[in-house]
Amino acid sequence: MSPFDLPVHPIAVHFPLAMLTATWVCLLCRYGLRDARWADRARGFEVIGVATLPLTILAGFVDTRGFGFVSDARWDRPLVWHAIVSIVAAGAFAGHWWWHRTERPTSTRSAVTDLGWATVGLWGLVLAGAIAGEMVYAA
């Protein structure tokens, strides 16, 4: 067995997930406690999480040996759904990060938008993880 036969994606995925989960928790603390210091913590976690997401996505394509599962998709299998949901969730967090670069949430409306982007991203990642569990543990 070659070390190159071992999957990379399951190892690489945990770090950005932890960073993005910490982002969401910090945002909850920021608005729940009304303390702006939590926003700075959230931004730090989010920068790291969003920066490492492309490596995780790339590791997924390495493990599947390319884009074949997309170009010849089996819609009755969970892999293509895992990839779609993961890309959408990654896009939500990337969009949240980009939005944060131009907007500083000050009103209730912007706070809802802030938490909305992060919540969609987080629950997308949770759903992608559930689909991944289906791929690994389903009989």
- Each domain of the chain, given as residue ranges in start order, spans 3-137
Q: What digits encode the pLDDT tens for the residues 102-114?
A: 766 666 777 888 8
Concatenating the DSSP letter of every residue in 70-96 gives: HHT--TTSHHHHHHHHHHHHHHHHHHH
Q: What is the mean pLDDT of residues 26-30?
A: 93
For 133, the enclosing helix (H) or strand (E) is helix 108-137
Output the pLDDT for position 122: 92
Q: Collapse the DSSP code of 106 into the 3-class scheme (helix H, G, I; strand E, B; otherwise coil) and give the result.
A: coil
pTM here?
A: 0.82
Please report the DSSP string for 15-47 in residue order.
HHHHHHHHHHHHHHHHHHHT-THHHHHHHHHHH
Mean pLDDT of 75-81: 83
pLDDT at position 106, please? 66
* Cα–Cα distance for residue pair 38/131, rounded to 1 Å: 31
Residue 59: CB partners within 8 Å, gap ≥ 6? 8, 9, 11, 12, 13
- Residue 99 pLDDT grade (very low, low, confident, very high; cuts 50, 70, 90): confident
b/e code 83-95 from CB counts within 10 Å (16+ = b): bebbeebbebbbe
Which pLDDT does position 85 carry in this prediction?
93
- In the prediction, which pLDDT does 79 show? 83
